[in-house]
Amino acid sequence: MNLSFGKYAPTLCRRFFWVGWFAFFAAPSFGQNPASPSPVLAQYLTQGLASNQGLHQQKFLLEKSLYALKEASGLFLPSVNLGGSYTLAAGGRRISFPVGDLLNPVYATLNQMTNSDRFPQIANVNEQFLPNNFYDVRLRTSQPLLNAEIYYNRQIKREFVGLQQAEVQVYKRELVKEIKKAYFQFLQASEAAKIYENALVLLGESKRVNESLVRNGSANGTVLARTEGELTKIQAQLTEAKYNRQNAAAYLNFLVNQPLETAVVTDTLMTTGRVGLPVRLDTVMGNREELLKLATVKNINQLSLKLNRSFFMPKLGVQLDLGSQAFKWQFNGQSRYALAAIALDWTLFAGNRNTNKIKQAERDLSASESQYGQVQNQLQLQLLTATNSYYAAFAVQEGSAQQITAAQRYFGDTEKRYRAGQANYIEYLDARTELTNALLQRSIARYNAWTKLAEVERAQASYLLD
């Protein structure tokens, strides 16, 4: 049965032709201008690096490390402490000394000889050891002179600051990659939704014409059933694309710390093909912060080893106490005192505990040195894999352009045969479906290539950070 549209064919064919070619030319082409920036994406990157909550957490940890370094540096300065005690006591051991029994007869004889009372009688001493109603208040100033522990402790804290700084940089680079991937996913889902919407317009017009043909007896119900099936399928695909677009937009807004429902701006430079992909990439890896972190860990282990070995070194410090102590809260010249001291602490033997700590630190150092080489090879592998994946994605998107050309040629030939009555509606619909799928595949391939390029940029550590 010849399913020509009669007088409706020219109008419907023009609509198919116009929408198909519009979708074809609206799809971005790929020039070779990798240096051209995307201002909208650049703005999202700037906003994300300034307001991402996870990045703020990393910066808080960095500030904590800086305060820990200041704390370690403060150990070199003198410390001044005010301390005191007040005691009440009863009972306990006592000291008894019969000083009265020994001296009172002598004093009595002296008084008779001098005919005076110049030598009074005294009582025996019976004093408890525990001080009762006694206070001691002092202001103590301490200053370390020789202490290897506080020196290496400060060095270790300084390395931890560098470690956290590298951690912040790693988080920034991951954030840049995730923002780019989320934005590319949003653009791809948006283009997919537009392609499906255009397909629905074509199918809606086709359905209207087919219903008229069926009513006039020029076509059977198979044509209408096929159109209904295509409409249901395209509508479901459009719904999926819209949800994918919403999810990508929400994730992008989450990364840049703005309300999830905020509308995402579409960069026309990318959707009109004025930003191209590079044909070849520089495969040289930059300064990866991951290696810097491992180098810092190695330095920390070296300092920890020196710290444990400093166990054999003596500790020397000075101390000055200014205070007052007396019974019954008396405060006078006799109660005030000053005490200066030089303190020496030198551990000679501790059951080989520190020797075993030194062995542990040596193993930690060896492990960190081995890990550095392993991670360096892993990062080289990551860069190689990311580069090859990009080249593969680039080849796919280049091939997708040729597929569109072939699909467009097939659509044009089928349209001519259909207009001449040499092709039925099913063939015409298949040609349109093939063109739509080719447009979708090109959109997917294009943004997949952009995503792979972002992964190469991450593997190279080539994005310029503040």
pLDDT tens digits, 208-252: 776 776 777 766 677 777 778 888 888 998 999 999 999 999 999
Q: Does residue 28 surpass a pLDDT of 60?
A: no
Q: Does residue 203 surpass a pLDDT of 50?
A: yes
Domain segments of the chain as ranges: 6-81+147-310+351-460, 92-130
Q: Does residue 27 surpass a pLDDT of 80?
A: no
Higher pLDDT among residues 241 and 417, named by residue: 241
CB atoms near residue 311 (< 10 Å): 15
Amino acid identity, residue 379? L
Q: Does residue 3 surpass a pLDDT of 80?
A: no
Q: Which pLDDT score, from 0 to 100, does residue 94 have?
A: 83
User: pLDDT tier at 421 (50, 70, 90 boundaries)?
Assistant: low
Cα 291 to Cα 334: distance, rounded to the nearest angstrom: 66
Percent of the chain surpassing pLDDT 70: 89
Q: Which two tokens stand for residue 362?
A: 């040596």
Average per-residue pLDDT for the chain: 84
pLDDT tens digits, 181-195: 999 999 999 989 988
Q: Which pLDDT score, from 0 to 100, does residue 418 have?
A: 67
CATH class of 6-81+147-310+351-460: mainly alpha
